[in-house]
Amino acid sequence: MILDYKDIDIYQDELLVLKGVNLQVNEGEMVYLTGQVGSGKSSLLKSIYGEIPVEGESAKVLGFNMNLLKTKQQPALRRQMGIVFQDFQLLRDRTVRRNLDFVLCSTGWKRKADREKRIKEVLEMVKLSNKIDKYIYELSGGEQQRICIARSILNEPKVIVADEPTGNLDAENGELILALLDEIRRQKHTAIILSTHNMQWPDYFPGTVYRCVDGKLVKEAEQ
């Protein structure tokens, strides 16, 4: 199991955001988090990669005890997951190649030839091989998000956590991003946990749907 939350409370700046969260995610599963702005979706995602604390009965992510996670353990946790941010968080003054190389260098890839090979592999997966030497500011929004996905899969993660990955994109580019994530899930058996306002995506790309509402996480089927 990739993630196992049992009766967990999630806090943001010492404010209780979600109470009594029960959430299990298996290898290769697509999980959608829905709900209004401010309902706790982003906080739940941040708790998964250790940015904000959790309390409660039991919280396990990729074998890590999130109740007791120490700051020095965060890099080891995050090396096993990919994170896709709504606002991209790419280095705009660098090329695509240098953005991806920065991540590989930061996660222990020593040999330049190995890094170069991996960069070309992930760019091929997101169909942007021809943009390798373009600066980030030269790319469209949809292309930048595809680079974010390429970045997230550099270390072959067991799970990708995506916060509103289509929130800043038009419908066509949004569908391309969801199709790409779903393809990675199917090919690599990578679990995908994403927040979204677009309730059409589960119709196109089926998965388990949860809603953050009234300070709780509720399975759609249970509402």
Tens digits of residue pLDDT in 8-67: 999 988 899 999 999 999 999 999 999 998 899 999 999 999 999 899 999 999 999 999
Full-model pTM: 0.93
Q: Which domain holds residue 129?
A: 91-156
100, 6: one domain: no
Q: pLDDT of 155-179, one tens digit each? A: 999 999 999 999 888 899 999 999 9
Domain for residue 85, yes or no?
Answer: no
List CB contacts of 150: < 8 A, sequence separation 6 or more.
100, 122, 123, 125, 126, 128
What is the per-residue pLDDT for 221? 55
pLDDT in tens, 108-157: 999 999 999 999 999 999 999 999 999 999 999 999 999 999 999 999 99
> In this structure, what DSSP letter does residue 158 have?
S
CA separation for the pair 85, 22 (Å, rounded):
24
Strand order in the sheet with 30-34: 81-84, 159-163, 191-195, 30-34, 208-213, 216-219
Q: Is residue 192 part of a domain?
A: yes
Quote the tokens at residue 65: 């005890």
Give the 3-state secondary structure of residue 219: strand
- Is 86 a member of any domain? no
